[in-house]
Amino acid sequence: MRYHKITIFILTFYVTLLSNVGFTQIQTGSFGKGIDFIAKDSSFTMNVGMRFQALYSNNWDVISDDLARLGNHSSNFLLRRSRLKFKGYAFSPKIQYKIEMALTNRDMSGGDSPEYSNASRLMLDAVVKWNFSKNMWLWAGQTKLPGNRERVISSANMQMVDRSRLNSRFNIDRDMGIQLRHKWKLGKQFHIEEVFAFSQGEGRNITSGNIGGYDYTFKLEIQPLGKFKSKGDFSGGDLKREKKPKLGIGIAYDINDRAGRDRGQLGNFLEVSSANLKTLNTFFGDFMFKYKGFSVMGEYAHRDIGGGDNRVFDESNTQVGSYYTGQAVNLQAGLLLKNNFEPSIRYTHVAPVSSAKENEYTIGLSKYVVGHKLKIQTDLSYREIEAKDDLFFYRLQFELHF
């Protein structure tokens, strides 16, 4: 029933918006740029866009790690993502906003718990960005934290079908709070950005209030060879075919004080008192390099507990869970050909403290019809799992963004 209510709300919003177009200017740009609504007095703007990904996947167990013995096949057609997006400015171009909603069951699911008021997790981003000084911005609301590069890259702009295992196991995702950002340039082309985020620590759409302590994130971004075209340091593949070498380097550190979930902003909630929770420390180092259609991205993640013991105990000294700690490395590269096909490769190593180590090898192929706005992507992966049967899987995905 609640999904029907959500659908009715969205349809009502559109009807209300369209019924008032006489009070605004409407502008449509090129494909993939959305529709712009501008107030007659230019006191606010709204860009409306939507996108979706349709995915087909096949998975096999590699019995006894022998590729000649594939078993337990499963396949799935899935609406992987569907997003409704709004952005613009309110009152002044210096006060911008972004709203993004998740429309698929997969995006909204997982909210059937008291921490979410037993409601779907509809909202992804709801953030205001105030450029209060020449080179400084204050963000407030719910949005992505300044963590690893692969997570900050939009799922619409990925080089492969989906992100790596490093990201799925270690990223710090979205949270509610504030962020202070500062950008400046050293010399003619050395660009620097510092970010500090203060957030709740339990992730997006939490309604139960702060569970443990708060979360503190620090990030430094540098571009020593000049700025990428069209924010290409946070976009997969070199679709702009950089004429000169471009390099982006990022370092981030996140402190989640008395984390209420076993992976910080993600994972299972730990049902113990705040005094029994522990502090998660996560470090990220990453880079992006692009030149004439060739791109390389690398990431390293490390997460630990201050005291070293990742187990969680309740008041009776019974273990009720454990934090996901360890480290991971991800490396991927691609070459954009003249016909806008891009072959790519990826290697990911994940080494958690309390579970099996993994190595994953992926080869991919993308066809960009209109950049990342209209594309078809496919990949083939092999995942080695320590002391378990390996996995073999194939995926094919179509993306439309308008």
CATH superfamily of the 2-401 domain: Porin (2.40.160.10)
| CA-angle at 76, arms to 54 and 379, nearest 5° | 65
pLDDT for 22: 53
Question: Is pLDDT at 397 greater than 70 in this prediction?
Answer: yes
Domains of the chain, by residue range, sit at: 2-401
Tell whether the model's pLDDT for residue 26 goes beyond 60.
yes
Residue 352, pLDDT score: 97
Q: Is the pLDDT of residue 10 over 90?
A: no
Q: How far from 297 is each of 249, 325, 331, CA to CA, in Å? A: 10, 23, 6
Q: Which residue has the higher pLDDT, 112 or 373?
A: 373
Exposure class string for 86-96: b at 16+ Cβ within 10 A, else e: bbbbeeeeeeb
At residue 5, does pLDDT exceed 90? no
Quote the CA–CA distance of 195 and 181 in Å, as a whole number.
5
Q: What is the predicted pLDDT for the residue at 398?
A: 97
Question: Hey, what are 127's tokens?
Answer: 């953030």
| Listed range (13-17, 54-58, 246-250, 252-256) with the worst mean pLDDT | 13-17
Give, for 11, the enclosing helix (H) or strand (E): helix 2-19
- The terminus-to-terminus CA distance of the chain in angstroms comes to 29
Phi, psi dihedrals of residue 119, rounded to the nearest 5°: -125, 160
Are 20 and 54 a contacting pair, CB within 8 Å?
A: no
CB count within 10 Å of CB 25 equals: 12
Residue 315 token pair: 């008041």
pTM score: 0.92
For residue 225 the two structure tokens come to: 């060879």
* Of 382, 393, 368, 299, the residue nearest 158 (C-alpha): 368
Q: What pLDDT, on the 0 to 100 scale, is given for residue 183?
A: 97
Write down the pLDDT at residue 387.
94
DSSP letters spanning 143-187: EE-S--HHHHS-GGG-SSSS--HHHHHH---EEEEEEEEEEEEET
The model's confidence at residue 2, banded by pLDDT at 50, 70 and 90, is low
Residue 226 in tokens: 């000049």
- Assign 106 a pLDDT band (cuts: 50, 70, 90): confident
Q: Which of 33-37, 109-113, 356-360 has the lowest mean pLDDT?
A: 109-113
Q: How far apart are CA 181 and CA 190, in angstroms?
A: 17
Is residue 163 within 8 Å of residue 149, measured between CB atoms?
A: no
pLDDT value, residue 308: 84
